[in-house]
């Protein structure tokens, strides 16, 4: 059976595709990033001798633009990898790649797929995708609401009565829509037993409320898919990044931030609240303060500890226990 590796460079409107065979020969084609284009891509692959069993496709993670073609390929039975763009960039630097075009990016992805053999990707279950769409929309409305609040303040300072009335009317409309979306999110979670049970478990953790629960489930998906708490922390990007080399380089350990930015942002305020109300994290904070660690770094440590608690509680199916994790911290808890 012939083997093929396919690199797909994704943009909003098109897919640049490179098909590489075992002799490192390439065939290229451009398809529309639409349902019809995804079907045409599958037909083109089959016409060139590629089979689902002998072919691996690789795309960079580019949010909604890559999710649609990746889901279409997965549903058709093909093996798809959706990889962090940072990995592909590092691979390109290792190859000393100088040019960057859509076509060259597709061939680079094909070579990356063959050399690195990234893990296969599976789309989140439908209920998680629906939840994420609702949460994304609510976040967008919250951002609009804050922008209008800022405008209202400037108009009030200038005593612009007509503008004030217009902005206030829009604020009232936005607040009504946000309340409606929040009800839809709550109803969606309550309507799916698995989501409801996981939400109840997460809400048992001091510092984690309804908003954090819905955002974590929306952006992380099913927490049980991760093999360990460290894997979940790495996905979110709250793991430590050490900077040491030889005897002279001893840089400050920082948070990696190589992970899901939105999920990480969702844990920032809960991490701060947990330092005051979560007994395990509060004890950790006091120990780290005693060592002289910077307050900002302690917030990062709190976020990481919170991720570990979320993972442990969801995997165990048991609510938060105040005695959980009071044991001595390992060195990584310093971040």
Summarised one tens digit per residue, pLDDT across range 38-69 is 999 999 999 999 999 999 999 998 878 899 99
Q: Is the pLDDT of residue 190 over 50?
A: yes
Q: What is the pLDDT of residues 135-170, one digit of tens each?
A: 999 999 999 999 999 999 999 999 999 999 999 999
> What are 287's two structure tokens?
């120990």
- Give the residue-averaged pLDDT of 125-134: 95
Instruction: Summarize the confidence of residues 93-106 as an average pLDDT.
Output: 90
**Are 305 and 214 within one domain?**
yes
Predicted pLDDT of residue 325? 53
Residue 22 lies in a domain: yes
CB proximity list for 243: less than 8 A, separation 6 or greater: 249, 250, 251, 252, 253, 254
Terminal-to-terminal C-alpha distance of the chain: 49
pLDDT of residue 331: 38
Domain boundary among the residues 96, 116, 136 is at 116
Angstrom distance (rounded) from CA 59 to CA 50? 17
The Cα–Cα gap between 88 and 93 comes to: 9
Share of the chain above pLDDT 70, in %: 93
Check residue 247 and give its pLDDT.
60
**Which class for 86: exposed (0-12), middle (13-18), buried (19 or more C-beta within 10 A)?**
exposed
Same domain, 323 and 209: yes
Cα separation values, 52 from 16, 18, 42, 80, 295, Å: 19, 16, 10, 10, 52
Give CA–CA dist 183/48, Å, rounded.
50
Asked whether residue 86 falls in the same domain as residue 133, the answer is no
- Provide mean pLDDT across the span 111-130: 94
Residues 151 and 101 in one domain: no
pLDDT at 256: 74
CATH number assigned to the domain comprising residue 40? 3.30.420.40
SS (H, E, C) the chain: CCCEEEEEEECCCEEEEEEECCCCCEEEEEEECCHHHHHHHHHHHHHCCCCCCCEEEEEECCCHHHHHHHHHHHHCCCEEEEECHHHHHHHHHHCCCCCCCHHHHHHHHHHHHHHHCCCCCCCCCHHHHHHHHHHHHHHHHHHHHHHHHHHHHHHHHCCCHHHHHHHHHHHHHHHHHHHHHHHHHHHHHHCCHHHHHHHHHHHCCCCCCHHHHHHHHHHHCCHHHCCCHHHHHHHHCCCEECCEECCCEECCCEECCCCCHHHHHHCHHHHHHHHHHCHHHHHHHHHHHHCCCCHHHHHHHHHHHHHHHHHHHHHHCCCCCCCCCCCCCCHHHHC
Domain boundary among 90, 116, 142: 116
d(CA 267, CA 273): 10
**170 and 224 fall within a common domain:** no
The verdict on residue 289 lying in a domain is yes
* Mean pLDDT of the residues in the chain: 90
pLDDT of residue 324: 60
The pLDDT assigned to 242 comes to 64
Task: Judge if 9 and 58 occupy the same domain.
Answer: yes
- Domain containing residue 211: 203-334
Asked whether residue 196 is domain-assigned, the answer is no
Per the structure block, which two tokens stand in for 327? Answer: 């044991």
Percentage, residues of the chain above pLDDT 90: 80
Query: What pLDDT is attached to residue 244?
Result: 61
pLDDT at 335: 38
Same domain, 224 and 305: yes
Which pTM was predicted? 0.83
Sign of CA dihedral 154, 157, 162, 168: positive
pLDDT for residue 330:
41
Q: Domain check: are 185 and 238 in the same one?
A: no
**107 lies in the same domain as 133:** no
Kindly compute the dihedral angle of the four CA atoms of residues 203, 208, 210, 211, in this order, to the nearest 10 degrees: -160
| 195 — pLDDT class (breaks 50, 70, 90) | very high
Residue 64 in domain: yes
Query: 178 pLDDT exceeds 60?
Result: yes
Say if residue 298 is in the same domain as residue 233: yes
Q: pLDDT tens digits, residue range 287-329?
A: 999 999 889 899 999 999 999 999 999 999 999 987 765 444 4
Note whether residue 44 is domain-resident. Answer: yes
Q: Which residue among 165, 191, 217 closes a domain?
A: 191
- 147 with 234, same domain: the answer is no
Asked whether residue 211 falls in the same domain as residue 323, the answer is: yes
Number of domains in the chain: 3
Here the tokens at position 56 are: 């691996």
Contacts 24+ apart (CB under 8 A), 291-295: 291/334, 293/334
Does the pLDDT at position 333 exceed 80?
Answer: no
Residue 249 has pLDDT above 60, yes or no: no
């Amino acid at each position: 059976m012939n083997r093929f590796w396919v690199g797909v460079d994704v943009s909003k409107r098109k897919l640049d595709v490179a098909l590489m065979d075992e002799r490192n020969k390439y065939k290229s084609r451009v398809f529309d990033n639409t349902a019809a284009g995804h079907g045409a891509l599958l037909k083109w692959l089959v016409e060139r001798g590629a089979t689902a069993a002998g072919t691996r496709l690789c795309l960079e993670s580019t949010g909604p633009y890559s999710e649609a073609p990746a889901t279409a390929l997965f549903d058709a039975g093909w093996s798809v990898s959706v990889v962090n763009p940072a990995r592909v960039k590092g691979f390109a630097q290792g190859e000393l790649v100088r040019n960057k075009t859509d076509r060259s990016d597709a061939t680079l992805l094909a070579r990356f797929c063959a050399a690195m053999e990234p893990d296969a990707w599976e789309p989140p279950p439908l209920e998680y995708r629906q939840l994420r769409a609702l949460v994304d929309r609510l976040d967008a409305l919250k951002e609009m609401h804050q922008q209008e609040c800022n405008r209202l303040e400037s108009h009030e300072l200038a005593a612009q009565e007509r503008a004030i009335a217009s902005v206030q009317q829009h604020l009232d409309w936005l607040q009504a829509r946000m309340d409606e979306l929040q009800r839809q999110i709550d109803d969606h979670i309550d309507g799916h037993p698995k989501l409801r049970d996981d939400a109840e478990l997460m809400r048992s953790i001091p510092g984690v409320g309804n908003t954090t629960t819905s955002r974590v489930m929306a952006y992380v998906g099913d927490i049980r898919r991760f093999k360990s708490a460290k894997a979940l922390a790495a996905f979110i990007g709250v793991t430590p990044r050490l900077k040491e080399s030889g005897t002279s380089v001893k840089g400050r350990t920082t948070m990696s931030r190589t992970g899901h930015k939105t999920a990480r942002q969702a844990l920032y305020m809960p991490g701060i609240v947990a330092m005051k109300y979560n007994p395990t994290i509060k004890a950790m904070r006091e120990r780290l303060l005693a060592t002289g660690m910077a307050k900002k770094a302690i917030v990062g440590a709190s976020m990481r500890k919170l991720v570990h608690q979320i993972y442990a509680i969801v995997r165990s199916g048991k609510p938060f226990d105040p005695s959980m994790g009071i044991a001595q911290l390992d060195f990584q808890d310093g971040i």
